[in-house]
Amino acid sequence: MNIIIAGAGELGRLLATKLTSNLHDVVLIDTSVETLEHINESLDVRLIEGSCLDLEVLRNAGAATADVVLAVSGDDAVNILCCQLASRLGSRKTICRVNNASFFSKEGGNLTPESFGIWKFVSPPTECVRKILSILEDRFLYEEIRFSHPDAVMRVFEIAPSSLLAGTRIKDIPAGNDLMQSIRFAGLIREKQFLIPHGDTILVPGDKIYIAGLAERVRDFIRWASTDEEYKRKLRVVIVGATPNAVLLAKAICNENHDVRVIEKSRRAGEKFSDFVPAEVLVINGSPTNEEVLREAGAADCDAFISTAQDDEDNILSCIIAKRLGAKKTIPLTSKPEYIRIAPTMDMIDCAISSTLVAVNSVLRLLETGTMRVDAYLQMHYAQLTEFRVSNSSPLCGKSLACCKLPPSTLLALLFRDNEVITPSGGTVLQPGDIVVAIVTRESEKELLPLFPQR
């Protein structure tokens, strides 16, 4: 595919890296010479200095024949106008990054994305908040991973000492045949080691298991296995930072009648924040890395401590302090790509969320790119989830999984066939158009790529 990326910030750079690794032709536009020179040292892409609102720049980038234009700068207005211009020039599809999804409305002038020539849009704050809210459903939930199929999900669930799963072999789990056949135990973390589970694996307290399948069935299983009755009560949630993410979070959590407290070090920003959230939200002025401020906010006995400030280091540090004070679950939000792998490995961090990675995968799920990377580097392990499309020329096409020679460390977690979500077994026969979800390392991904040619 011929893809133009407008905006070479952290999101644009990571998108360019992902897309070029899948052999797409990428053109990157940005006004910063320094940024483009830095990218030129590490990426084989065509770079154009200039504004994505300049028609000549867009024409030079090939907007008239582009398959997709991704407008992903940090400015909503620039992204919207870029999509409108690219669409007028002839681009087949446009995808727009907007931080404020409420910009589009059918009321008051029919301001829909389509009216601006936008095929699809992604809102990183909205996606991050959705991800955080899913984690708050249960004390022992630590991650939710979405795929290109909207009904499929993978959740990371910790085995508590009182869980029905503690001390049980996977093949002996008494959850009912129908439920067990509709989910997949895709991975397990035990003492910071990533393991591939099998029927004889005995689950022990502290294990974190990756459960994949239809979202409804995965939720049913976790509800069955969990003993987290206390999460039916009113929760106390402490949020750091008077940010757009915090506004969305506070509103959503208050709608569930939970106790929300927000720490903001700028008095002015805190006062302004209070105008956009329900009156019952308590806003506390102070530094999120000051232990006394955290105690005042109730971090010592809160159910969740979520740090959404602009400074990644403050977010991580405040979560570590809160965990030491007694917070049950800590969730820092980071944007720097460097923290994608680092933050999840920290003992005091329960659920690290990269807003950049969330945005990248929101875009990739909209693209029909054949092979794409999706949501997560698996926590505490240098592995990731990748979707592969089975083509007619694939050596695996028409074969059962039992007969497919896959790298030893490969596990196929799910299979998507048309609108169906399948938990694969040895007897599953791969068909043209199937999409398989694999847990891969960089090395095993290189071995798998020849098995899934694009055409």
- For the domain that residue 337 is a member of, what is the CATH number? 3.40.50.720
Within this chain, do residues 94 and 13 fall inside the same structural domain, yes or no?
yes
Q: How many CB atoms lie within 10 A of CB 286?
A: 16
Cβ-based neighbours of 42, under 8 Å, separated by 6 or more: none
At residue 290, the pLDDT reads 96
**Which of 62, 87, 122 is a domain's end point?**
122
Task: Give the three-state DSSP class for 400.
Answer: strand
Specify the CATH number for the domain of residue 411. 3.30.70.1450
Angle, helices 244-255/124-135, rounded to nearest 10 degrees:
40
356: its two tokens? 């950049």
Within this chain, do residues 341 and 261 fall inside the same structural domain, yes or no?
yes
Residues in a beta bridge with 141: 157
Could you tell me if 330 and 324 are in contact, meaning their C-beta atoms sit under 8 angstroms apart? no
Within this chain, do residues 332 and 430 fall inside the same structural domain, yes or no?
no
What's this model's pTM, rounded to 2 decimal places? 0.85
| 373 assigned to some structural domain | no
Euclidean distance between CA atoms 117 and 81, whole angstroms = 9
| 338 assigned to some structural domain | yes
Q: How many CB atoms lie within 10 A of CB 264?
A: 25
Could you tell me if 148 and 128 are in contact, meaning their C-beta atoms sit under 8 angstroms apart? no
Within this chain, do residues 217 and 278 fall inside the same structural domain, yes or no?
no
| 130 assigned to some structural domain | no
Could you tell me if 123 and 104 are in contact, meaning their C-beta atoms sit under 8 angstroms apart? no
Host domain of residue 208: 140-227
At residue 379, the pLDDT reads 47
Instruction: Work out whether the CA dihedral 8, 9, 12, 16 comes out positive or negative.
Output: positive
Within this chain, do residues 175 and 70 fall inside the same structural domain, yes or no?
no
Q: Strands (DSSP E) along 225-303, which ranges?
A: 236-240, 259-264, 282-285
Give the count of alpha carbons within 13 A of 204, CB side only.
Answer: 5
| 164 assigned to some structural domain | yes
Which residue in 256, 286, 262 sits closest to 274, CA to CA? 262
Q: How far out from the chain centre does Cα 136 lie?
A: 15
| 370 assigned to some structural domain | no
**Which of 91, 122, 153 is a domain's end point?**
122
| 212 assigned to some structural domain | yes
**Which of 122, 157, 179 is a domain's end point?**
122
The number of distinct structural domains making up the chain is: 4
Within this chain, do residues 244 and 348 fall inside the same structural domain, yes or no?
yes
10-residue mean pLDDT profile of the chain (455 residues): values are 94 90 88 92 92 96 96 95 96 94 69 90 92 88 86 90 90 86 89 85 93 92 75 84 94 93 96 95 96 96 95 95 96 87 81 88 77 52 77 91 83 90 91 89 79 80
Within this chain, do residues 333 and 393 fall inside the same structural domain, yes or no?
no
Q: 162: phi > 0 → left, psi -120 to 50 → alpha, else beta; which?
A: alpha
Alpha helix positions (H), 365-441: none
Cβ-based neighbours of 450, under 8 Å, separated by 6 or more: none
| 376 assigned to some structural domain | no
Euclidean distance between CA atoms 166 and 93, whole angstroms = 49
Q: In what order do the strands lie in the sheet with 183-190?
A: 141-146, 152-158, 208-214, 183-190, 193-195
Within this chain, do residues 313 and 274 fall inside the same structural domain, yes or no?
yes
Euclidean distance between CA atoms 26 and 17, whole angstroms = 9
Within this chain, do residues 50 and 145 fall inside the same structural domain, yes or no?
no
Name the CA radius of gyration of the chain, rounded.
23
Could you tell me if 211 and 219 are in contact, meaning their C-beta atoms sit under 8 angstroms apart? no
Within this chain, do residues 265 and 312 fall inside the same structural domain, yes or no?
yes
DSSP state, residue 295: H
Within this chain, do residues 157 and 70 fall inside the same structural domain, yes or no?
no
DSSP state, residue 283: E
**Buried-exposed string 20-39: b where 16+ CB fall within 10 A, e elsewhere:** bebebebbbbbbeeebbeeb
Within this chain, do residues 247 and 334 fall inside the same structural domain, yes or no?
yes
